[in-house]
A and B are shown apart, each in its own frame.
Chain A
């Protein structure tokens, strides 16, 4: 009995920690949605693009770790700048769906550029953190939990606290919330829309880079990251598109549910149900609570 319970705990904790990786991707979506009410479908591509550039800087140009990270972050700022100038500004008054489709196009551009610049083969990313059980926890609590998962959890926690404070207590955060509420009204009282957009897209780019590092250290830096990042969408539906805590809780739920289902129910169906389980879970949430756990109620005007 104790054995089974321990095993369940292990699965659950592993799932929860893996879920924080989804949260990290979802966080980028939420940032942009909060500030501009835009669904940024290219967030997954941004994850891939940023981490491939990071690894590329390190491996092809032998740039040291920290400098490469800073360069990649700067690159994401440039991407944010270009996106603001060439995609978002011309589409300022376009409908939500039009902007969404444009971001799908943006995602394609980023994926293509990344592969054209750095090639298509899988690259290894070594963060110096092993993807193996931490011995101390294994000995004392009899739980096998990967060090990488714990790091991802910590990084996610720090980023969430940071972003939460930024949104809640700074002038920039206030500006962001004002722009999200009504971009026109915000700009008419003197909030620099351009800067806010640039800031948000850059921040989302850096978040993407961090998420990419975590994913890349686990699964290798490869195109499949884009598909993995798609799983951030059910996370967002469960957590709510405009809530930073929601992104985290959503990620935890998805991570835990998909792992538990995979381990306990998966074997009856030949496994690999984690490929679709998050989406089906998202459908159930859509049917009963379309705005997600923490989202603002969706109100549509006629």
Chain B
């Protein structure tokens, strides 16, 4: 049997090498302002990771879920409690275990997906969102009986070395994100991902081909929640540096949904593109507001405009390119190379009535 990592082609390896050189060597050399790390790069990596989780369940398995932030909260608070109560686990160990705890929630709330789909499933996943946040909020144990509501996250210590500077935290996020992204790509390409996509494209046909719906859907939900949980832990420990249930409200779930859809359903790089867009666009709008109009426009109006633009883009993408920015990028590349366009199954399943 061939090891899983052998499925990479030469092109992939080159892409990976370019990404690694960019992120490990180029960015730390040229970007020295802390702002870029603390406000853009770190949240970008964390949210992209959560978006990959959303991709797995929505883009690959075709299950409409809307509870990513709930699982992120589960991961973040699991991490806090593990470091607090089981210090022997270490940072990486706690990260993995908190991902697994989130995965357990994913399995529990993914079970309705066996019976229902579409908006019905969306409501079931909303239950997870509200329930997890409520549970953390109401049971003091999860917050170590802290009454202030906002808990400071513990410092990150790996193998006795503290990782507290923005650059060090960036590397922690980068390492975790890289490993999990590679894993996700492998899963998506292997039999696991093919099962997911078979269920997405036609679940009844997939079942009659011998794909177990129970196994595939529950697996997708578990893995998705694992990714969200790890992302949530990183989000709290590297970006927010504090833990409060409110940070993981329904708005964050919607944000991740937007990242997933605008980025491009059923693609891993779409998760990164979508997360970058949703994060950077408000920064750009604010910059325009400050520099072009010199603060004449109120900040609340700018954030309203941002919302209108995101919503409008969602509609436009659904009409013209349901596969999002990743597909746009693909199209541009195709035109550049003037090759025969590759056909994907996904577009037909998303674009037409089944």
**Smallest CB-CB separation from A83: which chain B residue?**
B315
Interface membership of chain B positions 304-333, coded 1 if the CB is closer than 8 angstroms to chain A and 0 otherwise: 111111111111001100100000000000
**Smallest CB-CB separation from B132: which chain A residue?**
A276
Chain A residues 37 to 68 lying within 8 A of chain B, measured CB to CB, are: 39, 41
A244 interface contact, C-beta 8 A: no
With A112-B311, A287-B112 known as contacts, the answer to whether A101 contacts B204 (CB < 8 A) is no
Are B130 and A276 neighbours in the complex by a CB distance under 8 Å? yes
With A115-B304, A237-B123, A270-B138 known as contacts, the answer to whether A105 contacts B313 (CB < 8 A) is yes
Are A93 and B353 neighbours in the complex by a CB distance under 8 Å? yes
Q: In the complex the two chains form, what is the Cα distance from A116 to B300 in whole Å?
A: 8
B153 CB to nearest chain A CB (Å): 24
**Smallest CB-CB separation from B119: which chain A residue?**
A39
Q: In the complex the two chains form, what is the Cα distance from A300 to B120 in whole Å?
A: 14
Chain A residues 247 to 302 lying within 8 A of chain B, measured CB to CB, are: 269-273, 275-276, 279-280, 282-283, 286-287, 290, 300, 302
B349 interface contact, C-beta 8 A: yes
A102 interface contact, C-beta 8 A: yes
Total cross-chain contacts (CB, 8 A): 149
With A112-B304, A275-B134, A276-B131 known as contacts, the answer to whether A106 contacts B311 (CB < 8 A) is yes
A91 interface contact, C-beta 8 A: yes
A104 interface contact, C-beta 8 A: yes
- Identify which of B139, B308, B349, B354 contacts A116 (C-beta below 8 A): B308
A87 interface contact, C-beta 8 A: yes
A140 interface contact, C-beta 8 A: no
- Identify which of B124, B261, B305, B353 contacts A283 (C-beta below 8 A): B124
Are B319 and A112 neighbours in the complex by a CB distance under 8 Å? no
SS class of chain A's interface: helix, strand, loop or mixed? helix
Are B310 and A237 neighbours in the complex by a CB distance under 8 Å? no
Q: How large is the interface on A (under 10, 10 to 19, 20 to 34, 35 or more residues)?
A: 35 or more
Are A273 and B115 neighbours in the complex by a CB distance under 8 Å? no
Question: Which of B112, B134, B300 has the most chain A CB atoms closer than 10 A to its own CB?
Answer: B134
Are A105 and B312 neighbours in the complex by a CB distance under 8 Å? yes
Interface membership of chain B positions 340-352, coded 1 if the CB is closer than 8 angstroms to chain A and 0 otherwise: 0000000001111
Are B311 and A109 neighbours in the complex by a CB distance under 8 Å? yes
Q: In the complex the two chains form, what is the Cα distance from A184 to B276 in whole Å?
A: 41
Are B204 and A272 neighbours in the complex by a CB distance under 8 Å? no
A90 interface contact, C-beta 8 A: yes
Are B126 and A233 neighbours in the complex by a CB distance under 8 Å? yes
With A113-B304, A120-B300 known as contacts, the answer to whether A101 contacts B318 (CB < 8 A) is yes
Q: A90-B319, A102-B319, A110-B311 are in contact. List 6 more A-B contacts (CB 8 A).
A: A94-B318, A94-B353, A106-B315, A113-B308, A115-B301, A275-B130
Listed in ascending order, the chain A residues whose CB lies under 8 Å from chain B are 39, 41, 86-87, 90-91, 93-102, 104-113, 115-116, 119-120, 227, 230, 233-234, 237, 269-273, 275-276, 279-280, 282-283, 286-287, 290, 300, 302
Q: List 28 A-B contacts (CB under 8 A).
A: A39-B118, A94-B319, A95-B351, A97-B118, A98-B322, A98-B351, A100-B118, A101-B261, A108-B311, A109-B312, A109-B315, A110-B311, A111-B311, A112-B306, A112-B309, A112-B310, A233-B119, A269-B138, A270-B138, A271-B138, A272-B134, A272-B138, A275-B130, A276-B131, A279-B123, A280-B127, A282-B124, A283-B124
